[in-house]
């Protein structure tokens, strides 16, 4: 297991494909990191599907409104169209590059529309640099991210089993 140097700024993502450890980057995107931790602590991400997974690009998840299996609002046809009940976040674009394992917030055309959805890059994606708010980096488990079922939308998608701040486990 990867050494967790800062448990308060590390999340452990258990997926249907295995464990993924993500180092949070509060110095890069403090408000986005705070939101990820807040939703993880509320267990909002538990059961949320990877609704958009593009080969050689990224795996997207985090729609806690329509993408959470077992919830009253779960709707596979709408997964990816929702967020959380919290307000959208102001963009925190940075010079941090989108490389393999980068975790970044999804958003609409509006730069200040990130809410709960995020993606993990399978490969370097330099065209996303300074366009999306980077909040973390996978430090263990990219082999499990690589196993996530592809599709747009994904039929019978993989999901987040649990997402926890390491300091809480």
Model pLDDT for residues 107-165, shown as the tens digit of each residue: 999 999 999 999 999 999 999 999 999 999 999 999 999 999 999 989 999 999 999 99
Q: What is the structure's pLDDT at 3? A: 85
pLDDT average, residue stretch 74-86 = 96
Q: Does the bond joining 153 to the residue before it have cis omega, within 30 degrees of 0? A: yes
Residue 1 binned pLDDT confidence (cut-offs 50, 70, 90): low
CB 19 within 8 A of CB 146: no
Q: Return d(Cα 146, Cα 159) in angstroms, integer.
A: 13
Q: Return d(Cα 50, Cα 80) in angstroms, integer.
A: 9
Judging by beta carbons within 10 Å of its beta carbon (0-12, 13-18, 19+), is residue 66 exposed, middle or buried? buried
Model pLDDT for residues 56-71, shown as the tens digit of each residue: 999 999 999 999 999 9
Using alpha carbons only, give the angle 126, 29, 143 rounded to the nearest 5 degrees.
Answer: 55
Strand order in the sheet with 102-105: 52-54, 58-61, 118-121, 102-105, 134-140, 18-24, 10-15, 160-165
Model pLDDT for residues 19-39, shown as the tens digit of each residue: 999 999 999 999 999 999 999
Helix (H), strand (E) at residue 15: strand 10-15
> 3-state class of 61 per DSSP?
strand
- The answer on pLDDT for 81 being more than 90 is yes
| All structural domains of the chain | 7-163 (2.40.100.10)
Q: Return d(Cα 43, Cα 64) in angstroms, integer.
A: 10
């Amino acid at each position: 297991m990867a050494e967790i140097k800062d448990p308060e700024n590390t999340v452990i993502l258990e997926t249907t494909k295995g464990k993924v450890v993500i180092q949070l980057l509060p110095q890069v995107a403090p408000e986005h990191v705070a939101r990820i931790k807040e939703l993880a602590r509320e267990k909002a991400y538990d059961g949320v599907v990877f609704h958009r997974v593009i080969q050689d690009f990224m795996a997207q998840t985090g729609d806690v409104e329509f993408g959470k299996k077992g919830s009253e609002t779960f709707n596979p046809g709408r997964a990816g169209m929702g967020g959380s009940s919290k307000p959208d976040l102001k963009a925190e674009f940075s010079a941090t590059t989108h490389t393999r394992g980068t975790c970044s917030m999804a958003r609409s055309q509006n730069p200040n529309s990130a809410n709960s959805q995020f993606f993990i890059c399978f490969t370097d994606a330099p065209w996303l640099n300074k366009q999306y708010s980077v909040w973390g980096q996978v430090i263990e488990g990219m082999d499990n991210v690589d196993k996530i079922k592809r599709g747009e939308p994904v039929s019978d998608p993989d999901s987040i089993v649990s997402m926890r701040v390491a300091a809480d486990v």
